[in-house]
Amino acid sequence: MAKPDVLISEVGPRDGLQNCAETMPLASKTAWIAAEAAAGVTEIEVGSFVSPKLLPQMADTADVVAFALTVPGLDVAVLVPNLKGARMAVEAGAHKITLPLSVSETHSLRNIRRTHDQVIEEAKAISDMLDELPEDQRPHFEGSLSTAFGCTLEGAIPEDLILRLATRLMEAGCDEVGLSDTTGYGDPASIKRLIRTVRGEVGAKNLTGVHLHNTRGLGLANALAAYEEGITTFDSSLGGLGGCPTAPGASGNIVTEDLVFMFESMGVNTGIDLDALMACREIVAKALPDEELYGFTPKAGLPLGFKGAPVPAAAE
């Protein structure tokens, strides 16, 4: 199969659902994941291994992972807040784990109850645990620099602190770092600047993905800016579900449907069938009737004659 030009990583079953008042039934989660995979989505963050007392929406993550592993060609990602969560993710068989390190220490304490030093210690412990596994059984390990573009609790974060934390995550054993605009404070100029700065510190191959929010309507503009800087992995959420429960005022993620449409209309191949993707909204809407689903493309429909980007030729 030919590789798409960009990877769209669906985070709705984790980042989307964690901000919902209702808990989606397991059968609906698995139907959603199966439908998105059938539409061409090849990476889905299906849940997080956190305390069910804190996030009851994530209590069935192990069962969701077990199902997702049966879906052909799907990379199964999860979020872990600590070593305990990472061990649970490994036991479940997840392909990718993400440890969030908020560059705003105030947010870090509220979000995962850890200081910066404590998160780095967790990262090192996770890396040591993964090193004990056979190489073909080790999940990819990402350290996510959350609130990297600003925090509702602290405001702007000094770049030198962000760079130090990025370096410390790599030294602790992460395979890569990601930049997360948790609060939607980023703009295209700041997106470009921070990507260049962090890549200058850790290397371009160690920063390939961004997680962006649409809090002030700049989500797609920021995604385009990141793409122009060479970023190839983009997190997004079906219907724009999501936000951060511990960051006041942070609203939903980039709408997957709009993100895919933007890239496909530009001739950038995502490997995703837009009609099939938009049909997935019916599953979510039925399971969460009180949640508002966002997105301009699903509401307007595809332009007459729209074909999307040409599929890239398979490598010989």
| Domain ranges within the chain, ordered by starting residue | 7-300
% of the chain residues with pLDDT over 70? 96
Is the pLDDT confidence value at 111 over 90?
no
The pLDDT, as a whole number, for residue 252 is 79
> Which spans in the chain are helix H?
26-39, 61-68, 83-92, 105-111, 116-131, 159-172, 188-202, 219-228, 256-265, 274-279, 281-287, 296-300
Q: Is CATH 3.20.20.70 correct for 7-300? A: yes
Query: Tokens in use for 193?
Result: 């600047």
The pLDDT, as a whole number, for residue 244 is 56
CA-closest candidate to residue 98, choices 41, 174, 163, 161? 174
Q: Helix or strand or coil: residue 44? A: strand
Question: Distance between CA 36 and CA 280 in Å, rounded?
Answer: 7
Is the pLDDT confidence value at 129 over 50?
yes
Q: What is the mean pLDDT of residues 26-39?
A: 98
Contact by Cβ (8 Å): 81, 99: yes
Is the pLDDT confidence value at 49 over 80?
yes
DSSP conformation class of 316: -
Q: What is the mean pLDDT of residues 185-200?
A: 97
Is the pLDDT confidence value at 158 over 70?
yes
The pLDDT, as a whole number, for residue 250 is 47
More confident residue, 183 or 171: 171
CA contacts within 13 A on the Cβ side of 308: 19
The pLDDT, as a whole number, for residue 2 is 73
Please identify every residue annotated as catalytic. 244
CA-closest candidate to residue 89, choices 111, 109, 61, 117? 61
Question: Distance between CA 299 and CA 310 in Å, rounded?
Answer: 24
Contact by Cβ (8 Å): 276, 288: no
140, containing H or E segment:
strand 140-146
CA contacts within 13 A on the Cβ side of 72: 2
The pLDDT, as a whole number, for residue 179 is 98
Residue type, 193: R
Q: Which of 25-39, 109-123, 255-269 has the lowest mean pLDDT?
A: 109-123
Split at pLDDT 50, 70, 90, the class of 154 is confident
Number of continuous H segments (helices) and E segments (strands) in the chain: 12, 8
b/e sequence 143-168, b meaning 16+ C-beta within 10 Å: bbbbbbbbbbbeeebeeeebbebbeb
The pLDDT, as a whole number, for residue 247 is 47
